[in-house]
Structure 1
Amino acid sequence: MEHVALYRAWRPQSFQDMVGQQHIIRTLQNAIREQRLSHAYLFSGPRGTGKTSAAKILAKAVNCEKGPTAEPCNECDACRRITAGAVMDVLEIDAASNRGVEEIRDLREKVKYAPTEVRQKVYIIDEVHMLTTEAFNALLKTLEEPPPHVMFILATTEPHRLPATVISRCQRFDFRRVSLEEQSERLKLICEKEGITAEEEAIQYIARLSDGGMRDALSILDQIASFSGGQVSYQQVLEMTGGIASRQFAELAQTLLAGDVGGMLQMIDGFMQEGKSADKCMENLLYYFRDLLMVKMVPQADKLTERVLDPRDFAEIAESFTKSQLFKIIDTLNHYQTEMKYAVQPQTLFEVALLKICTIPKEEIDGASATAHSSTADASEVSQLRRQLSELEAKLERALQGGVSAGAGGGASAPAGNNRSSARSSAPRVASKAKIPSNMDRYIAERHSPAFMEVQNKWNQILQAVKEEKVTIHAWFMNGEPVSVLEDSVLVAFKNDIHRETTEKPANKQLIENVMARQLGSPCRLVTMMLKDWNDAIQGAAEPPKEAFELEPPPEDGGSSNSKEPWVDEALHLFGDDLVVIKE
């Protein structure tokens, strides 16, 4: 007897045989019972999830001689002939090979004729996204208002490629990937019926490899059963599919953690000798570390993982890694997996990726937990500094208010407490005055120069780079703003003297100067002052100097030149002899 592939032999023939699409099955069965069937349906979802099978079952349900019925009997002549594909009124069209406008026009002409063999005509258009734009336009009107004896069922794996006008004319059902539990139960049932002996781990691994597609799972099972003579083991599945056992992944992970470059390269060479492909190894390793991250971050994460057979083993390995470490490894593997698609020697890139993971600096690997602790410490330090800053600003405000009150009340009568407040409030002003650059005139002249405009345009990038270096310095430095550039010096004016003094500390100032040098492309020196002093300096430079009023002696003439009091001669010159009276 001719062998039939398992996925064909076990294709669902009724709604109850379908696996994992209960939300769709219930809706269709209720629509049949209540006679509320639509004229057009759109079945979308990943491959192998039952779209075409559901379409054929629906065609049998509406044309069953005992129906329309929620479950086709599969015994009447109509059901058996539709299953065999021998009914001309139930037409399955492959849109990938009949994608032109002429084929759709031919379909549109035949739609108007009444069915001859069954109750209702059903057109199943598979891979409908392959139709051309002209074919879709030809189908639109018929799809919207077909004759009452016609039903359209469109199936596609890429619904985003369909025009919105087509989607709006159909009832859409999204098929989901079949869950691992449902796939495993179905595979066990088929193995039992077909006389195949399969290990539990082998069935679970096949279900995971299929990525939620029941057809793919049955194809893998059929292939391995043929190879092993009906005795399916976990090791045989790995050998046939090119997979790597979890134990080997664990060994490879330990070599990466220890930085054992020699052991890691030997393991890669062993994989290649076994006939495994580098891109498949990269994909499986990426999944493995992804599952480790899920197990580490999410309690009871075995339902979220793709390759975990025993979550307890994964939990032990996950404890050896930190979250930061796993994130770094996944980023590296993902980067090289993308590059591998265009590589002539993918094995070389695979080796380079693992070598890079082995040589990540110690502070990023072994000290990952210390980094996490340091991040927490930085966050607490920032919050503490902000509280201290708020308290200092409040004290400064009270001191300034006290100083104003003291100045308004007069020197002799002011209370002693106000005098002390005034003295304290004046202290910051004296300190800030001392920080005014000596060459202020040159800074003012260069405040609109092209060099300053470049610094101003890149200021946000400079602040962001300082934040990435150390967030605490950024918290103080962001209070300042650039006001001028003179040669290699960048003048930054601060609104608050506390922020300026903290920025001026040697370690903080050195970090900021290094960041500015990287962003601007040349060595820079940071110069600071108070913003109020800068504004006063600009205002003073804008006002012309006032000439002092001086009394000048009149031109030398007869009587005035012998006068010993110049101001008397000036008065006589201004007001005349008639108005000036001189008294001894």
Structure 2
Amino acid sequence: MLFLKRVSQGKFLHTPLERKQHMSYQALYRVWRPQRFDEIVGQQVITTTLKNALITNQTSHAYLFTGPRGTGKTSAAKIFAKAINCHYLKDGEPCNECDTCKAITNGQLNDVIEIDAASNNGVEEIRDIRDKAKYAPTQADYKVYIIDEVHMLSTGAFNALLKTLEEPPANVVFILATTEPHKIPLTIISRTQRFDFRRISADESFGRMKFILDQKQVEYDEQALWVIARAAEGGMRDALSILDQALSFSDNQITVDNALLVTGSVTKQLLHQYLQQVSDHQSGPALETMQSILGAGKDGQRFIEDLISFVRDLLLYQEAPELINVESTGLSEQDYKALAEKIDSSVLYQMIDQLNEIQQEMRFTTHPDVYLEVLTVKLSQLNASSTGATAISDPSPQIEQLQDTVSKLQQEITQLQQQPVKQPQAAESKPTPKRTSSSQTIKVNLSKVYPILEAATKDDLVKLRDIWGDMLNMLSVPQRALLHVSKPVAASPQGVIVAFDYGFLYQKAVTDDMLETDMENDLKKLIGEARSIVYVPNDQWPTIRQNFISQHDLNRPSTSTKEVEDEDDATDIDEPKEETNDSNDDKMVTEAQKLFGNDIVEVKND
């Protein structure tokens, strides 16, 4: 057990700050504010550039520091103000011991002016700066203006500042800091040297907090520091603020439980349990886990963020395990490996989409538990309802079936190409009857086709064609391959007729009951209506359509399937069409266009 050295007021003495007089307690981010470029965490490129500029005396008259909150912008500006005025500069670092450095550190040097643009954003304030900037510095070598949150300046204030940046007075340096550089006029940005501060990684935040607690001789659990580092979301100041809160909460001892309570985060063990349950489609146990998490006082938004982070780690682990520092997550390598092998990446993508959607909706609700319950049920159903995710899990059978289909197509094409050369005498070999005989063996159930045609409309057909691609994407890979050479040719509110280019594919579709069921279910999901599916060969479709139009126009009773399938009977049905007068022909054309659309019906004069 490590003991702490206390002063009479119960506050700690900090070794790096013994030069300061003892005063009331200060927040960690103020006490441990960087005083040298090397102490700025996670911005090595920027600090090296600034130090080299100071060493070579190539400093600019204006700088723009941009980046997220708590990443060291203002600290770097103050260190730069000390370094450019320090007479004992060493390797680009201020000495922090001379009178000038101490005065700037304590905020007591009149030549270093720090301005908050959020509360001094008017034209008059900037004009005052412009007028005073003309006067030479009184104590230091350079007069430094640090304008924080500069994007808050008004348009007039930016215009007043622009003239000063165009023709800067001698021995004056402007350092502009902002979290929103897109709000700054380009005329201002072009007259500054811009440095973009990046988010601080969890590893770097962890290292800095570990160093501070070691200096303070405070006991801590490293896993607790990882929780705080992740909750800080790239801000070093946020990390130290949370650490300060955890110290106060736990009486100067940092534990995992206290860190979780302070940040509102959820343990990875609970997240692991929750994700395992939803991936097993166990919505009941998953709801219980979620309720226990909320019952422990965890924040709903933080729960979503932690879950997104966990799913993201799983995706990275599947692709490149070396990118994930498993020790920092609180789980074992075996836990990650088991989940990564169990949950398909496509399901993880869907989970992130659902989490992002719920996260946006929860921003404006006072009942987050309702959204989280709905989320849990949705996540539990993802793998079961997503045919795409399950269909690609093992592509070997689908590939074999596709190869078989392609092979059959190639054989049929080869036969068609060889027939004219192989049998030049049509009377002897009669290749054409051979093809037609195989075509005639294809039986079309007209008792299912005609009811659809009686109520068919062009609007229904257009509607079906618009969503046909979406319906195909919902089917499995072999089913999509089978339907690739098919298309809807007629539709009514009760059903749809699908024509196949190849007869053998039509026969395969007719015998596949599962295909018809899946297509009907998917169409119902897309259009909200149940419709039956009827298949026809594409080469027979014109005859079927024409026969129906003729019978419909003559008001004849519907014929049986056998009569329509017989070629001679079909010809007999077509004969009365020639005996009708012109008005009947026009009526027939109009009826056909109404049923099938102008783009399908073609009128030819004999």
**Structure 1 residues 296 and 493, CA, compared in 2 at 3 Å: closer, same or farther?**
closer
**Structure 1 residues 525 and 154, CA, compared in 2 at 3 Å: closer, same or farther?**
same
- Are 2:470 and 1:464 aligned? yes
Partner of 1:550: none
**Structure 1 residues 120 and 248, CA, compared in 2 at 3 Å: closer, same or farther?**
same
- Cα deviation, residue 427, structure 1: 3.4
- Cα deviation, residue 55, structure 1: 1.0
Structure 1 stretch displaced more, 16-25 or 382-391 = 382-391
Of 52, 58, 62 in structure 2, the residue corresponding to residue 40 of structure 1 is 62
Query: Aligned partners of 1:521 and 1:30: how far apart in 2?
Result: 71
- Are 2:400 and 1:394 aligned? no
Larger radius of gyration: 1
Q: Is the 2:199–2:234 contact (alpha carbons within 8 Å) kept by the matching residues of 1? A: yes
Unaligned runs of 5+ in 1: 412-418, 546-584
- Cα deviation, residue 164, structure 1: 3.0
- Cα deviation, residue 53, structure 1: 0.7
Partner of 1:122: 144
Q: Is the 2:521–2:530 contact (alpha carbons within 8 Å) kept by the matching residues of 1? A: no
Q: Is the 1:473–1:503 contact (alpha carbons within 8 Å) kept by the matching residues of 2? A: no
Q: Is the 1:455–1:520 contact (alpha carbons within 8 Å) kept by the matching residues of 2? A: no
**Structure 1 residues 534 and 19, CA, compared in 2 at 3 Å: closer, same or farther?**
same
**Structure 1 residues 295 and 434, CA, compared in 2 at 3 Å: closer, same or farther?**
closer
Of 286, 306, 315 in structure 1, the residue corresponding to residue 336 of structure 2 is 315
Of 332, 344, 349 in structure 1, the residue corresponding to residue 366 of structure 2 is 344
Query: Aligned partners of 2:146 and 2:517: how far apart in 1?
Result: 72
AA matched with 1:246: K
Percent identity, aligned pairs only, is 37
**Structure 1 residues 435 and 319, CA, compared in 2 at 3 Å: closer, same or farther?**
closer
Q: 1:261-276 residue pairs with structure 2 within 5 A? A: 264=286, 266-276=288-298
- Cα deviation, residue 470, structure 1: 3.3
- Cα deviation, residue 48, structure 1: 1.2
Query: Aligned partners of 1:400 and 1:453: how far apart in 2?
Result: 43
Partner of 1:4: 26
AA matched with 1:14: R
- Cα deviation, residue 69, structure 1: 6.6
- Are 2:95 and 1:73 aligned? yes
- Are 2:153 and 1:131 aligned? yes
Deviation track 1:87-138 (CA, whole Å, cap 9, x = no partner) reads 2332211111122333223323333333333222222121122223333333
Of 383, 389, 401 in structure 2, the residue corresponding to residue 381 of structure 1 is 401
**Structure 1 residues 232 and 291, CA, compared in 2 at 3 Å: closer, same or farther?**
same
Deviation track 1:238-297 (CA, whole Å, cap 9, x = no partner) reads 233333333333444455456666655554454444333333333333433443443344
Partner of 2:20: none
Q: 1:478-557 residue pairs with structure 2 within 5 A? A: 478-481=484-487, 496-505=502-511, 507=513, 508=515, 511-512=518-519, 519=527, 523=531, 526=534, 528-530=536-538, 534=542, 542-545=603-606
Query: Aligned partners of 1:49 and 1:479: how far apart in 2?
Result: 58
Query: Aligned partners of 1:184 and 1:438: how far apart in 2?
Result: 73
Query: Aligned partners of 1:520 and 1:397: how far apart in 2?
Result: 45
Q: Is the 2:41–2:204 contact (alpha carbons within 8 Å) kept by the matching residues of 1? A: yes
- Cα deviation, residue 521, structure 1: 5.2
Q: Is the 1:489–1:527 contact (alpha carbons within 8 Å) kept by the matching residues of 2? A: no
Q: 1:554-569 residue pairs with structure 2 within 5 A? A: none
**Structure 1 residues 192 and 438, CA, compared in 2 at 3 Å: closer, same or farther?**
closer
Superposition TM-score, scaled by structure 2 size: 0.74
SS at match of 2:329: coil
- Cα deviation, residue 22, structure 1: 0.8
Query: Aligned partners of 2:110 and 2:477: how far apart in 1?
Result: 73
Query: Aligned partners of 2:541 and 2:392: how far apart in 1?
Result: 42
- Are 2:230 and 1:205 aligned? no
**Structure 1 residues 38 and 321, CA, compared in 2 at 3 Å: closer, same or farther?**
same
- Are 2:301 and 1:279 aligned? yes
- Are 2:457 and 1:427 aligned? no
Query: Aligned partners of 1:117 and 1:540: how far apart in 2?
Result: 94
Partner of 2:118: 96
**Structure 1 residues 477 and 246, CA, compared in 2 at 3 Å: closer, same or farther?**
closer
- Cα deviation, residue 24, structure 1: 0.7
**Structure 1 residues 180 and 519, CA, compared in 2 at 3 Å: closer, same or farther?**
closer
SS at match of 1:300: helix
Query: Aligned partners of 1:489 and 1:318: how far apart in 2?
Result: 44
Structure 1 stretch displaced more, 312-321 or 527-536 = 527-536
**Structure 1 residues 209 and 522, CA, compared in 2 at 3 Å: closer, same or farther?**
closer
AA matched with 1:428: R
Query: Aligned partners of 2:360 and 2:293: how far apart in 1?
Result: 21
Structure 1 stretch displaced more, 368-377 or 182-191 = 368-377
**Structure 1 residues 388 and 452, CA, compared in 2 at 3 Å: closer, same or farther?**
same
Of 115, 127, 134 in structure 2, the residue corresponding to residue 112 of structure 1 is 134
Partner of 2:577: none
Query: Aligned partners of 1:361 and 1:168: how far apart in 2?
Result: 50
**Structure 1 residues 363 and 66, CA, compared in 2 at 3 Å: closer, same or farther?**
closer
Partner of 2:483: 477
- Cα deviation, residue 29, structure 1: 1.6
- Are 2:232 and 1:225 aligned? no
Q: Is the 1:41–1:154 contact (alpha carbons within 8 Å) kept by the matching residues of 2? A: yes
Query: Aligned partners of 1:121 and 1:341: how far apart in 2?
Result: 45
Query: Aligned partners of 1:236 and 1:355: how far apart in 2?
Result: 30
- Cα deviation, residue 54, structure 1: 0.7
- Are 2:161 and 1:155 aligned? no
- Cα deviation, residue 37, structure 1: 2.0
AA matched with 1:399: Q
Q: Is the 2:53–2:59 contact (alpha carbons within 8 Å) kept by the matching residues of 1? A: yes
What RMSD over aligned residues (CA atoms) do the two structures have, in Å?
4.1
Unaligned runs of 5+ in 2: 1-22, 547-588, 590-599
**Structure 1 residues 229 and 395, CA, compared in 2 at 3 Å: closer, same or farther?**
same
SS at match of 1:154: strand
- Cα deviation, residue 327, structure 1: 4.4
- Are 2:270 and 1:248 aligned? yes
Query: Aligned partners of 2:602 and 2:350: how far apart in 1?
Result: 55
